[in-house]
Amino acid sequence: MTHEPERETSDRHRPVLLQRCVDLLAPALAAPGSVLVDCTLGMGGHTEAVLEQVPTARVVGIDRDPQAIALASERLARFGDRFTAVHAVYDEIGDVVANLGLDGVQGVLMDLGVSSLQLDEVDRGFAYAHDAPLDMRMDPTTGQTAADVLNTYDERELARILREYGEERFAGKIARSIVRIREERPWSTSAELVDLVRACIPAATRRTGGHPAKRTFQALRIEVNGELEVLDRAVPAAVEALAVEGRIVVESYHSLEDRLVKRVLQRGATSSAPPGLPVEPETHKPYLELLTRGAEEADGAELDDNPRAQSVRLRAARRTRPTPDHLRPNREATR
């Protein structure tokens, strides 16, 4: 694996909407010993800002990528026992919190999608700008690779993934070409895939919308890492891990991600009482309060400074009361 020791970790990653995230979380972390779970630790940029600006807070950082755990732990060593790293997938937040002996936490942060670390490490195969093995696993120690997907999924399933996860207009044509080429040789490197996608997309279309392979690579990454399935379990589990007055902040970069987050937060912020009741029963009152008006986006100044903020959608909520028993998710369903 290619490492870049000459570059400071903080130089390799500019967290998106960093100050906004800290400002939203800080009120819930004001009491000494308050705990934030950073579900997507990455290289620790958001966590570092919280630890610096909120001296009362502790942070538990979760990441499925062992390299991210190592780099962030080195970066954050100066905070001593105020920072704890846990190698896990973030839908395991309930188990992580329980294993640390906590009844609940005061903050949860999720910064979804691929991290700067994974994009910048050429050998991981996430980036379409460099030729590399088609891996794309956030945890390179387990699971199927992008090459496995390309070499084993049938044409219909490949087209569905490209269409749903990549919003690729030419999904059918790309899928047919993938299957045709693998009959001659198995897929192994990213440059081959970039060339195929470019050939499948009309020249006029390639002139706009960024790199022509962007949507295909995004779709494969989401499939390889089961990102939407993990998120679908993780957001309800994160809400359940929050103590009353705790806050959750989620940054999404894909419409399907944002839709899942919006559904869970709006469900918690909406009365579950049948319409027309003269008095709302206590057990049906909302248990979340939305802290953002819709999904917040990056402003022009941030976009100029950090192109990776282009598609961010930020949502946040505060827990106002425990989740009523009849609305609490099945623990097994959120694992």
Strand 83-87 versus strand 57-63 pairing type: parallel
In DSSP terms, 105 is beta-bridged to 242
Sign of CA dihedral 28, 34, 35, 36: positive
Q: What does each C-alpha distance from 197 to 53, 149, 186, 213, 295 come to in angstroms? A: 45, 16, 16, 6, 32
| Nearest 10 degrees: Cα torsion 261, 266, 272, 273 | -170
C-alpha to C-alpha distance for 247 and 16, rounded to whole angstroms: 18
81 annotated as ligand-binding: no
User: Do the annotations mark residue 90 as ligand-binding?
Assistant: yes
The Cα 57–Cα 51 span in angstroms is: 6
As beta bridge partners, residue 242 has 105
| 258 assigned ligand-binding residue | no
**3-state class of 2 per DSSP?**
coil
Whether 211 has a binding-site annotation, put simply, is: no
Identify whether the C-beta of residue 124 lies closer than 8 Å to the C-beta of residue 132. Answer: yes
Q: Is 326 annotated as a binding residue?
A: no
- 45 among the known binding-site residues? yes
b/e map 115-132, b = 16+ CB within 10 Å? bbbbbbbbebbbbbebeb
Enumerate the known binding-site residues.
44-46, 63, 90, 111, 118
Enumerate the known binding-site residues for S-adenosyl-L-methionine.
44-46, 63, 90, 111, 118
